[in-house]
Structure 1
Amino acid sequence: MPQMAPLMWLYLYVFFLVSLILFMSINYFIKPFQKMDSSDNILSSPPQPIWKL
Structure 2
Amino acid sequence: MPQMAPLYWLLLMILFSLIFILFFILNFYSSINSPQKQDNIKLSNKINWKW
Shorter-chain TM-score range: 0.5 to 0.7
Q: Aligned pairs, how many?
A: 35
Give secondary structure in 2 for the equivalent of 1:20: helix
Runs of 5+ in structure 1 lacking a partner? Answer: 32-48
Larger Cα-atom Rg: 2
Q: Hey, what's the Cα distance between the residues in 2 that align with 1:27 and 1:18?
A: 14
| Residue 4 (structure 1) aligned with residue 7 (structure 2) | no
TM-score w.r.t. length of structure 1: 0.53
CA pair 3-27 structure 1, distance change in 2 beyond 3 A: same
Q: Hey, what's the Cα distance between the residues in 2 that align with 1:13 and 1:19?
A: 10
Aligned-partner residue type, residue 8 of structure 2: M
- Cα-Cα RMSD: 2.6
**How many Å apart are 1:3 and its aligned residue?**
1.6
Which is helix-richer, 1 or 2?
1
Q: Hey, what's the Cα distance between the residues in 2 that align with 1:28 and 1:3?
A: 38
Q: Matched residues, percent identical?
A: 44
